[in-house]
Amino acid sequence: MTLAILPLFLRVCCSRYLSLIADGDLSRETRLPLEKVDAKNIIQRENIRKNQRSALFNNSEGKLSIN
């Protein structure tokens, strides 16, 4: 990784970390090390949420909103 893309990489990592906290997948509790987090379970829940959002978007295609 070159130094030029390091800030972008860190921004993406931090954004994802904060998103996982907001979604309730990670705790802000600092006593639990990240190595103890069940990453497979988190990824499964992320995939479920992604599929749910996709289904909502795909079901709304062609329906114009006046708002």
Query: What does the alpha-carbon distance between residue 46 and residue 20 come to, in Å, rounded to a whole number?
Result: 9
Q: Strand, helix or coil at 60?
A: coil
Instruction: State the number of CA atoms in the 13 A half-sphere of 20 facing the CB.
Output: 22
pTM over cut 0.85: no
What tens digit of pLDDT does each residue of 15-67 get?
A: 999 998 998 888 888 787 888 889 999 999 999 988 998 888 886 655 655 54
